[in-house]
């Protein structure tokens, strides 16, 4: 069959359905919020109800909303109260939001490599990155794939380190029967528009640790310990204003009632696509560990052969919206604040400060597996309103391109 890039017919000649997450239930919650005539966060409104219901869904004692997923990770890191110059071991492929808060807290991100062929952080690389200066581990369940949390938690316990889970792409995602976000000490979530729970922008943090819970609650509200009692103001923690407003809380509460069904549908579609591609020896489609449940925020395909940029162009020409390489490079090469240490003025803080005891260099070769395998990666995003036929078109297009390139 002639490829579309060579003049053949496309596998898909009509657009895939756009996502449409909002409806009358969201409008009802927004209307109720507006009718209260108070859009500021307080202890009895939609935002507070969301926090209560999210905590119940995840079986944790504490949930606090934040203005973004970036704010959520920053809030979690701040709750650890680490000394400036402390190292935090994290992953090489993620959004800058995972590491931005570390730098603002004067901490030093240290990047552990991927495990080959998985798109997941390698626990043994994490172990090798730990020194006497390490203060925490931050893992990311990338694309909705759970990391090897047994291994990570074993390493953390061995060294007495707290673990933060970045679950921005991994709502209702399971590792050995447990929800990711509840396995480490703190779980962080994003409600940005592309996420399973879409609010436009927002986030939240969860924990069963009462000390971390109090600190996170205060940090996202400028440390305003005396907000809800009469008397002089008291700010006990050096925090920021990371609160959300009541309109965001209203949509978050409405979407929370749908998020499990959204993920279940995306999981069914993703599992179907992976099964359709399982017999293709030249690719690894959406790898995952045994006894886990993927939530398919993205569907990644690792190509063992061929020029993946050219393969992605061919897939696009067949009408399939694949994106080449995800971030292109690991995050430490994408961001000048890391690669060139452009942070606070010309100071280079925290990397050049008296607190930093490491010779920090974010250069090519730091995480060779991730750097190489990003160039073998192409991803597609599908949504909960897609059909099995849509998924079958994706599989047919992938197979057609592989045959057309002799792979």
Q: What is the CATH number of the domain that holds 195?
A: 3.40.640.10
Q: Is residue 16 part of a domain?
A: no
Residues 116, 181, single domain; the answer is: yes
Q: What is the pLDDT of residue 44?
A: 75
Show the DSSP H helices in 305-362 as ranges: 308-317, 331-334, 336-339
Dihedral angle, C-alpha 79, 83, 89, 94, nearest 10 °: 60
Please state the rounded mean pLDDT for residues 4-15. 95
Residues 156, 182, single domain; the answer is: yes
Pull the structure tokens for residue 389: 């036929």
Residues 216, 295, single domain; the answer is: no
Which tens digit of pLDDT belongs to each residue from 34-79? Answer: 999 999 987 779 999 999 999 999 999 999 999 999 999 999 999 9
Residues 240, 288, single domain; the answer is: no
Q: Is residue 11 part of a domain?
A: no
Long-range contacts formed by 157-163: CB under 8 A, 24+ apart: 159/130, 159/134, 161/130, 161/134, 161/135, 161/136, 161/137, 162/80, 162/136, 162/137, 162/186, 163/136, 163/137, 163/138, 163/139
**Which of 223, 251, 218 is closest to 46 using CA atoms?**
251
Rounded CA gap, 102 and 331, in Å?
A: 14
Residues 304, 267, single domain; the answer is: yes
Q: What is the pLDDT of residue 227?
A: 87
Share of the chain above pLDDT 90, in %: 95
Q: What is the pLDDT of residue 385?
A: 97
Rounded CA gap, 259 and 402, in Å?
A: 35
Which tens digit of pLDDT belongs to each residue from 131-174? Answer: 999 999 999 999 999 999 999 999 999 999 999 999 999 999 99
Residues 70, 218, single domain; the answer is: yes
Q: Is residue 294 part of a domain?
A: yes
Q: For residue 360, what pLDDT band results from cuts at 50, 70 and 90?
A: confident
Q: What is the pLDDT of residue 43?
A: 74
Kindly write down the DSSP assignment for every residue of 6-64, as one continuous string: GT---S--SPPPPP----HHHHHHHHHHHHTT--S--TTSHHHHHHHHHHHHHT-SEEE
Give the total number of structural domains in the chain. 2
Please state the rounded mean pLDDT for residues 232-256. 96
Please state the rounded mean pLDDT for residues 85-94. 98
Neighbours of 142 (CB within 10 A): 25
* Mean pLDDT taken over the chain: 96
Q: For residue 229, what pLDDT band results from cuts at 50, 70 and 90?
A: confident
Please state the rounded mean pLDDT for residues 3-7. 95
Which of 237, 258, 279 is at the close of a domain? 258
- Given a contact cutoff of 8 angstroms between Cβ atoms, the answer to whether 243 and 75 are in contact is no
Q: What is the pLDDT of residue 71?
A: 98
Q: What is the pLDDT of residue 134?
A: 98
Rounded CA gap, 262 and 144, in Å?
A: 13
Domain encompassing residue 318: 260-327+372-404
Q: What DSSP state is assigned to residue 143?
A: G
Check whether 304 has a pLDDT greater than 90: yes
Q: What is the pTM of this model?
A: 0.97
Q: What is the pLDDT of residue 337?
A: 95
Residues 267, 149, single domain; the answer is: no
Q: What is the pLDDT of residue 358?
A: 80
Q: For residue 1, what pLDDT band results from cuts at 50, 70 and 90?
A: confident
Share of the chain above pLDDT 70, in %: 100
Please state the rounded mean pLDDT for residues 175-180. 98
Residues 119, 236, single domain; the answer is: yes
Q: For residue 380, what pLDDT band results from cuts at 50, 70 and 90?
A: very high
């Amino acid at each position: 069959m002639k490829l579309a890039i060579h003049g053949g017919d496309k596998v898909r000649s009509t657009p895939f359905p756009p996502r449409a997450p909002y409806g009358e239930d969201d409008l009802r919650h927004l209307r109720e919020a507006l009718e209260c005539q108070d859009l500021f966060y307080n202890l009895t409104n939609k935002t507070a109800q969301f926090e209560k219901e999210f905590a119940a869904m995840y079986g944790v004692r504490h949930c606090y909303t934040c203005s973004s997923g970036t704010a959520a990770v920053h809030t979690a890191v701040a709750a650890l109260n680490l000394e400036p110059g402390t190292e935090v071991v994290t992953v090489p492929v993620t959004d800058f939001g995972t590491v931005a808060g570390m730098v603002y807290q004067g901490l030093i991100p240290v990047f552990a490599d991927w495990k080959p062929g998985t798109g997941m952080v390698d626990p043994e690389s994490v172990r090798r990155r730990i020194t006497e200066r390490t203060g925490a581990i931050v893992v990311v369940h990338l694309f909705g794939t759970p990391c090897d949390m047994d291994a990570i938690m074993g390493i953390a316990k061995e060294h007495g380190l707290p673990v933060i889970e970045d679950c921005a792409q991994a709502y209702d995602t399971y590792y050995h029967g447990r929800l990711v976000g509840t396995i480490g000490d703190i779980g962080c979530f994003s409600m940005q528009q592309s996420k399973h729970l879409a609010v436009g922008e927002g986030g939240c943090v969860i924990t069963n640790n009462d000390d971390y819970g109090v600190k996170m609650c205060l940090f996202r509200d400028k440390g305003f310990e005396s907000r809800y009692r009469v008397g002089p103001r008291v700010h006990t923690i050096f925090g920021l204003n990371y609160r959300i407003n009541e309109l965001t809380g209203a949509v978050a509460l409405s979407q929370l009632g749908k998020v499990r069904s959204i993920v279940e549908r995306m999981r069914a579609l993703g599992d179907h696509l992976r099964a359709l591609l399982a017999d293709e020896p030249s690719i690894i489609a959406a790898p995952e560990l045994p006894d886990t449940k993927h939530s398919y925020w993205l569907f990644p395909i690792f190509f063992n052969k061929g020029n993946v940029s050219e393969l992605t162009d061919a897939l696009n020409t067949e009408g399939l919206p694949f994106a080449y390489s995800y971030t292109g490079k690991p995050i430490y090469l994408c961001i000048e604040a890391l690669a060139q240490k452009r942070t606070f003025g010309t100071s280079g803080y925290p990397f050049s400060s008296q607190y930093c005891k490491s010779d920090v260099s974010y250069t090519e070769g730091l995480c060779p597996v991730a750097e190489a395998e990003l160039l073998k990666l192409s991803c597609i995003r599908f949504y909960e309103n897609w059909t099995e036929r849509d998924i079958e078109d994706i599989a047919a297009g992938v197979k057609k391109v592989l045959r057309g390139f002799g792979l």
